[in-house]
Structure 1
């Protein structure tokens, strides 16, 4: 709601809203290069043309720091809502989709495009109030970037404008107090997990991840093919063959089998997929091409 937005941020939103062409929330992201914008209207981050990531930033959570620099705290806890309580399975998947795109931007060292949004209900009720609708959505003309990504704190910091600036600790604490990052709640195993548990969690994570994008993710781990998940499109064409490895408490390294290394040598579409924090709320993954596998953190060297 407007009354929850910093006056400096609200002034920019109002200027954009009053001087720009009137567009619907779907029109805005479509004009920014999002393909099938209407079908993706319920998402809150998108991959646009040019491999550009666009993310909704709730204006209620945009903070203004020293020198007028804007920043935004992004929760890396996909399991819990801003206003408290656990998310539904659909809400969890949407949160994971958003973080996957933000992490993609971070890993590529690319800037973000943002749409600033205010809502018709109090921000804490956004995910629980069925009547919640967008009040205002405007594209921000300035680029944003991910300044820090801290899984241990379950928080990332997004900054508007040039790189090289970070909010102070006091500014971060004030932003936390506004509620964009839920209090950390520990879930899952309290001690070391078995390798089998971590691997099962990594498989489940990747299967749900690709299914969330409309792909078929088939578990073929028991067939000794040199990969564990085969990802295909709606027409049945194979897109990826993933050798899946997970890390988590007590499981910080992994090996590639002879079949996996042989399959890697055959090249595309084989990939090594490493899921970190596989059992935790901040699980994320990275894919490695066959010529990149030696760069994968946790890979044990091949024994002679």
Structure 2
């Protein structure tokens, strides 16, 4: 709602709204290069043409720091809503997909495009109100970037404009209160979870991830084929054969079996899928081609 937006941010939104062409929220992201924008309109981040990442930033949560710099706190807790309470399975998947795209820009050293959005209901009710509608969505002309990604604090800091600036501690504290960003949950002591539990969580995460995109993800790990999950399309065509490795706090190393290395040598569609923080709320994954596996962080040599 407009009354929740900082006046400086609202002024930019109103200027864009009045001076630009009138477009619907779907038309705006389509114009920015999002394929199948209508089908993806309910998502909160998109991979557009040219591998550009576009993310919705709720204007109500954009804060103004020292020197008038804009920044935005992103919670890395995919399990809980900003207003408190547990997310649904669909909401969790959308949150993970969004964080995956944001992390992609950080890893690549790239910026991202933002669409500033206000809503017709209070921001705290956005995820729980099925009738929630976008009030205004405008593209921001300035580039944003990930200035800080703190897995321990479960927080990422997005900054508008030039790199090299971070909000002060006071700015961060005020932004946390403004955005209802939950404090980091206490870490589970190292060794609390077994290797088997971490691996099971990684398999479950990837199965749900690909199922969320309409693919069939079958756990075939018991068959010792050299991969753990086979991803197929609706016609039954095999898209990926994933050798899955889960990591967690105090358990960051993993090995590839002889069967997995042999399968990797046969090439596509085999991939190494490493799920970090597999057992926690900020699980993320990265795929490695057979030619890239030796550079995968955490890979340990196979013991004789």
- How big is each residue's C-alpha offset from its partner over 1:229-288, in whole Å with a ceiling of 9 and x where there is no partner? 112223333222111000124533211100001111222221111111111101111112
Mapping for residues 117-196 of structure 1, pairs under 5 Å? 117-186=117-186, 192-196=192-196
Distance in 1 of aligned mates of 2:187 and 2:299: 27
Distance in 2 of aligned mates of 1:280 and 1:45: 22
- How big is each residue's C-alpha offset from its partner over 1:61-87, in whole Å with a ceiling of 9 and x where there is no partner? 101112221111001001111111111
Mapping for residues 193-232 of structure 1, pairs under 5 Å? 193-232=193-232
Distance in 2 of aligned mates of 1:205 and 1:186: 21
Give the root-mean-square deviation of aligned CA atoms: 1.7
Residues 73 and 179, structure 2, Cα contact 8 Å, conserved in 1: no
Question: SS where residue 280 of structure 1 aligns?
Answer: coil
1:270 aligns with 2:270: yes
- How big is each residue's C-alpha offset from its partner over 1:122-158, in whole Å with a ceiling of 9 and x where there is no partner? 1111112233211111011111111111111111011
Mapping for residues 1-304 of structure 1, pairs under 5 Å? 1-186=1-186, 192-304=192-304
Distance in 1 of aligned mates of 2:127 and 2:135: 15
Distance in 2 of aligned mates of 1:35 and 1:106: 23
Residues 244 and 273, structure 2, Cα contact 8 Å, conserved in 1: yes
Question: SS where residue 172 of structure 1 aligns?
Answer: helix
Residues 193 and 249, structure 1, Cα contact 8 Å, conserved in 2: no
With normalisation by structure 2, the TM-score equals: 0.95
Distance in 2 of aligned mates of 1:187 and 1:290: 33
Q: CA deviation at 1:188?
A: 7.3
Q: CA deviation at 1:303?
A: 2.8
Distance in 2 of aligned mates of 1:302 and 1:20: 59
With normalisation by structure 1, the TM-score equals: 0.95
- How big is each residue's C-alpha offset from its partner over 1:36-89, in whole Å with a ceiling of 9 and x where there is no partner? 111111111111111111110000110111222111100100111111111111
**Using a 3 Å threshold, how does the CA distance of structure 1 residues 303 and 187 change in structure 2: closer, same or farther?**
closer
Distance in 1 of aligned mates of 2:32 and 2:69: 24
Query: What runs of 5+ residues in structure 1 fail to find an aligned partner?
Result: none
Q: CA deviation at 1:186?
A: 4.6
Q: CA deviation at 1:190?
A: 8.4
Residues 188 and 279, structure 1, Cα contact 8 Å, conserved in 2: no
**Using a 3 Å threshold, how does the CA distance of structure 1 residues 261 and 190 change in structure 2: closer, same or farther?**
closer
Residues 192 and 251, structure 1, Cα contact 8 Å, conserved in 2: no
Residues 193 and 251, structure 1, Cα contact 8 Å, conserved in 2: no
- How big is each residue's C-alpha offset from its partner over 1:150-172, in whole Å with a ceiling of 9 and x where there is no partner? 11111101111122211122211
Residues 257 and 302, structure 2, Cα contact 8 Å, conserved in 1: no
Residues 73 and 180, structure 1, Cα contact 8 Å, conserved in 2: no
Distance in 2 of aligned mates of 1:13 and 1:286: 35
Distance in 2 of aligned mates of 1:136 and 1:143: 19
Q: CA deviation at 1:185?
A: 3.5
**Using a 3 Å threshold, how does the CA distance of structure 1 residues 190 and 253 change in structure 2: closer, same or farther?**
closer
Question: SS where residue 152 of structure 1 aligns?
Answer: coil
Distance in 2 of aligned mates of 1:93 and 1:190: 26
